[in-house]
Structure 1
Amino acid sequence: MGIVNVTPDSFSDGGRHASAQAAIAHGHALVEAGADWLDIGGESTRPGAEPVSEADELARVIPVIEELARTNMPLSIDTMKPGVARAAIQAGASMWNDVTALGGPGALGVAAQLGCQICLMHMQGEPRTMQADPHYDDVAGEVEAFLLARAAAAMKAGVSRENIWLDPGIGFGKTLVHNLALMGALPRLAGLGFPILFGASRKRFIASLDNDAPADQRLGGSIAAALHAAQAGAAMIRVHDVRETAQALKVRAAIQASG
């Protein structure tokens, strides 16, 4: 899953694809690089990010989705707002990727009405404050319990089980220790009966392990995390660097196939 940030302030590439024209061009480039999905977002969820109005978010993402939908590439809308999700699905997206796990007002009902695929992500707190002082007694157990509870709530509201994906939320209200523990627990999470969407591309934990490397110098760590996630059973990997990650996954698959 290639990332298309139509934002001025995303942690890794904020501003590079903020215009619709630039975002559309980037989406096409990711498809050429080997993406199987595109995830389009108009509101940054980096630590400390400020909220964006629904009108502004719609203005950012809908023209991009409408144009990229012409390619028949499966599209995901990365949003916390039910109104944005509804408009995005109508414009051609087929997944709602929600960092609040449908925790917003009316989100469960809208998800059921839309009948699209839904990704439920774990986040402790909210983007502006989530990294202030995250705490868990058992991060893997608590994330697992949260995701199962949200999946149950979604199904009770009318979302089909077959449409539900889970995301452990690497970097969302978690320290380095928490992130590493969660990645170590991926086989356990992948065994819950829902496909796992995994996203660790260019995230801050990589810098914590490598002399505070800036976001554009975290490719090696991102690929290492992607390969681990694939080995652990993740069904889809969400990345910035599509060509390099796809190549790494192809080599891994070829090695495994060789016996």
Structure 2
Amino acid sequence: MLPVSYLFVPGNRPERFAKALAAGAGAIILDLEDAVAPADKAAARQAIADWVASAGVAPERLVVRINDALSPWYADDLAMIKAAGIRQVMLPKTEFAEQVKMTIAATNPEVVIVALVESARGINNIDQIALAEGVQRIAFGTLDYAADLNLPGDEQGLIYPYSKIAIASRSAELAPPVAGVTPNLDDLARTEADFAFARAFGCTAKLCIHPKQVEVVERLSRPSEQEVIWAEKVLAAAKDSSGAVQVDGKMVDRPVVLKAEAIMARSMTKTHRQTTN
């Protein structure tokens, strides 16, 4: 199972890397892009390479967000990714499938891409991006998208792009998409509401910028006790019957069974993480 929470850490703050990894997020994103000033890019790149070489971090828990393909730092970022053997890359400002191809070609064939879509052009080309070889899943950069379209801040402006990303991801048989960040660190209710909104369109993960947001996302991703009880009843009823059955007065058919199986899978995944971390 892929991460539910992705925690950003500035690439020029190596003293925070291990702390972020211990904060409970499914993965950390060591950031070379927005969080790092131009003058600090080279030092951040070296800090990431040095830490990866010595920390022994599991590859599935580490993502590096490089600078975008049109930036003057892109080539140097790719060289570091290749030399350090990093396997997961977040590609910002993804607008064309060709950007994914270029990134993988310049690094390693084993590299997988979290395509961060942040613009109207990216949404317009989302089907091709989702089908690009090497894309693991798509993340939605809601703040940059809103700026690109000069949206007033009403979440209704995100309905169409979230829907397009979710449908493109499912059609391409990708993992479900990742919701954008919530910038207000002091309003965890906003984090919760933002994730609930994104989940309504099929997102199963969220980008975080502080460890306290991670707890909210991880908690909301877990099925409730009532959901687990219901799923167990559905699966037991389906197992014991070769025909149509009812649970709590409602007909159990294949979509209901699939939903119950998904709930149990989410429950078991969290249990496994708690016992292995």
The aligned runs of 1:11-22 (5 Å cut-off) are 18-22=12-16
How far does residue 235 in structure 1 lie from its aligned partner after superposition? 4.3
Select between 52-61 and 171-180 the one with higher mean Cα deviation: 52-61
Mapping for residues 105-254 of structure 1, pairs under 5 Å: 108-112=101-105, 113-115=107-109, 116-124=111-119, 143-151=122-130, 155=132, 159-160=133-134, 163-174=135-146, 175=151, 176-177=153-154, 178-183=157-162, 187-193=166-172, 194-203=174-183, 215-239=184-208, 240=210, 241-252=213-224, 254=225
Q: CA deviation at 1:249?
A: 1.6
Q: State the identity %.
A: 9
Superposed, 1:64-143 pairs within 5 Å as 64-71=51-58, 73-80=60-67, 81-88=74-81, 90-101=83-94, 108-112=101-105, 113-115=107-109, 116-124=111-119, 143=122
Contact 1:195 1:234 in 2 (8 A): no
Q: CA deviation at 1:82?
A: 4.3
Query: For the Cα contact (< 8 Å) 2:9–2:28, is it kept in 1?
Result: no
Of 14, 38, 43, the residue aligned with 1:56 is 43
For residues 144-201 of structure 1, give each alpha carbon's deviation from its aligned partner in whole angstroms, at most 9, with x where no partner exists. Answer: 432223345xx4xxx34xx432223211131224335434666434433232432333
- Tell me if structure 2 keeps the 8 A contact 1:42–1:61: no
In structure 2, the residue corresponding to 1:70 is in which secondary structure?
coil
Q: Is the 8 A contact 1:94 1:117 kept in 2?
A: yes
Amino acid at match of 2:185: D
Q: Segments of 4+ in structure 1 off by > 6 A? A: 102-107
Relative to 1, partners in 2 of residues 1:19 and 1:57: Cα closer, same or farther, differing over 3 Å? closer
Match of 2:268 in 1: none
The one-letter code sitting in structure 1 at the alignment partner of 2:170 is G
Question: Which of the two has greater helix per residue?
Answer: 2
Give, in whole Å, the separation in 1 of the partners of 2:98 and 2:127. Answer: 20
CA distance in 2 between counterparts of 1:57 and 1:238 reads: 21
2:145 is paired with a residue of what secondary structure?
coil
Larger radius of gyration: 2
**Is residue 190–residue 234 contact of structure 1 (8 Å, CA) maintained in 2?**
no
Tell me if the contact between 1:6 and 1:41 (Cα under 8 Å) persists in the aligned partners.
Answer: yes
In the superposition, the TM-score normalised over structure 2's length comes to 0.60
Mapped contact 2:118–2:141 kept (Cα < 8 A) = yes
Q: CA deviation at 1:84?
A: 1.5
Aligned length: 207
Q: How many angstroms does 1:58 deviate by?
A: 0.9
* 1:38 partner amino acid: I
Aligned partner letter, 2:228: A
Partner residue, 2:261: none
In the other structure, the counterpart of 1:2 is 6
Which residue is 1:257 aligned to?
Answer: 228
1:256 CA drift (Å)? 3.4
Contact 1:190 1:232 in 2 (8 A): no
Check the 8 A contact 1:164/1:195 in 2, yes or no.
yes
